[in-house]
Amino acid sequence: MKHLVSLPRIPLVAAATPLQPAPRLSAEIGVEVWFKRDDLTGLGLGGNKVRGLEYLLGDALDQGCDCLVTGAGSQSNWAMLAALAARRCGLTPYLVFYGSRTRPTGNLLLSEFLGADVRFTGELERASVDAGIDKLGAELSAAGRRPYLVPRGGATPLGAAGYVRASMELAEQLMATGLAPSQLWLATGSCGTQAGLVAGSRWLHSPYDVVGVSVSRPVDECVTRVESLARGASSLLGFSPDDDGCVTVLGGYLGQGYGRGSLAGDAAAQLVARTEGIFLDPVFGAKAMAALVDAARAGSVDGPVVFLVSGGAPTLFAGPKGSL
């Protein structure tokens, strides 16, 4: 069994998350599908971001920080889970959101409920969050606090390390079930999750290709970010893959735009709910599932495949104008 370099880590994930067959969905689309249930990671209402937060919060505590500063859009599952993890570790959470304050629903409601200090940039550009995080971090430092700053989505090599660890978990589950999937599908936004899975699959010589479906950025940008983060995570964890291979990211499923649902995604999410009793969030998981359904029905996928359910359930209650 391979081992990772030991890095500071706070156990937050209720591991191992289930690997479940989806027989009724498989019959509907003509390809055998299994779900890796990272909506059941155990912190709050679950979600993939908890895996990276284990390492990020471990690093924050190791550095003696007393507060965490991050951000995104007001419906960001990342931001809410980061604040929740910070609270669990005794750090004060500060969240910077782009846009202006709206009626709290979904993740914004939960962020305020857990007592996060929430700020809005007043600008519609997502990139305004980056400057807002830096500015708030400087203000907190000047006031004598010790802030730990994390970019949107936790998309750093250290954050991606969480999904290298998840790759090891999945490898054990595949061995136990005798399953040899051809592909592992997921939604790709800030790219850290796919990067960790790519790094892990290369290191472990996994039988599957990692297929990301962009729900945010242009495909070329995603490919570059995934590759860079995967290399960074590999270096941190002390291994060098024998074969870099290629990074696969599919486009064409953004719909009306980032943070908004799509007709194809809604139809795919409804299909999964009605066949397997699993809710997919409308702006990440649902769009990735729409791509998988189309590929399966077009005959361009050979099963079995694993689909990463990445969580985000609170966005189901955010309404059509929620922003991520």
Domain edges within the chain: 19-48+156-317, 49-154
pLDDT of residue 257: 83
Which stretches in the chain have pLDDT values below 50? 321-323
pLDDT of residue 245: 76
Quote the CA–CA distance of 159 and 47 in Å, as a whole number: 14
CB distance 186 to 288 below 8 Å:
yes
pLDDT of residue 242: 57
- In CATH terms, the fold of domain 19-48+156-317 is Rossmann fold (3.40.50)
Alpha-carbon torsion (163, 164, 166, 170), positive or negative:
positive
Q: Which helix (H) or strand (E) holds 131?
A: helix 128-142
pLDDT of residue 260: 84
CB distance 322 to 74 below 8 Å:
yes
| Secondary structure of 271-290 in HEC code, one letter for each residue | HHHHHHCCCCCCCCHHHHHH
- In CATH terms, the fold of domain 49-154 is Rossmann fold (3.40.50)
pLDDT of residue 322: 46
Tell me the CA end-to-end span of the chain in Å, nearest whole number.
38
> Would you say the CATH fold of 49-154 matches that of 19-48+156-317?
yes
Say what the pTM is.
0.96
